[in-house]
């Protein structure tokens, strides 16, 4: 019986150590997810800043186009061809700005999606870590119960031995 108790204690200790390693690994993964999430948030902020800059540039380009158009109407026929080419260049710049804005918006959307996935993974890993912590706590409780049982068995064995010696002495 003592051998079974020792074996049970050994198994419980091994299970407890395994759970500790799993908990440490889960905590490391959770930290990694949090770092990825924070990195994603930083990229999202930077993309937002670039998006704002692109919007400002787009607005500036639009104003330049309006101004160029105004100049075309007010200038003489001789100068109109030069202004027309500036207008076309500004139109091309505006189109490039719109394309860049569209790319930044798509990149921002992708970063937001990656951030949502990262936060969901971090939450899942936090739940896993909590579950492993609960399992470790249960294993520790079981080991404590086994230890109490072992001590009681030792007391019982000592009592029986004492009574047997007393009986032999009589």
Q: What is the pLDDT of residues 37-77, one digit of tens each?
A: 999 899 999 989 998 998 999 899 889 888 888 877 776 65
CA gap 26, 123 in Å, rounded: 12
- pLDDT score of 76: 60
Q: Let me know: does 26 contact 132? Beta carbons within 8 Å.
A: yes
The whole-angstrom distance between residue 142's C-alpha and the CA centroid of its chain comes to: 33
* pTM of this structure: 0.49
Fold of 2-169: Helix Hairpins (1.10.287)
- pLDDT score of 14: 92
- pLDDT score of 83: 65
Where are the domains positioned within the chain? Answer: 2-169
Q: How confident is the model at residue 93 (pLDDT cuts 50, 70, 90)?
A: confident
Return mean pLDDT, the chain.
87
CA gap 16, 126 in Å, rounded: 19
- pLDDT score of 43: 92
Cβ count near 51 (within 10 Å): 17
């Amino acid at each position: 019986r003592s051998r079974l108790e020792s074996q049970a204690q050994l198994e419980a200790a091994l299970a407890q150590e395994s759970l500790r390693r799993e908990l440490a690994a889960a905590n490391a993964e959770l930290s990694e997810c949090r770092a990825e999430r924070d990195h994603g948030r930083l990229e999202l902020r930077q993309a937002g800043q670039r998006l704002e800059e692109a919007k400002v540039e787009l607005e500036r380009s639009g104003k330049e186009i309006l101004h160029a158009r105004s100049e075309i109407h007010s200038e003489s026929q001789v100068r109109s061809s030069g202004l027309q080419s500036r207008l076309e260049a500004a139109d091309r710049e505006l189109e490039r700005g719109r394309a860049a804005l569209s790319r930044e918006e798509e990149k921002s959307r992708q970063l937001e999606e990656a951030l949502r996935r990262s936060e969901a993974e971090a939450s899942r890993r936090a739940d896993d870590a909590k579950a492993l912590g609960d399992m470790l706590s249960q294993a520790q409780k079981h080991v404590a119960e086994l230890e109490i049982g072992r001590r009681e068995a030792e007391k019982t064995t000592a009592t029986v031995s004492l009574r047997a010696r007393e009986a032999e002495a009589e």
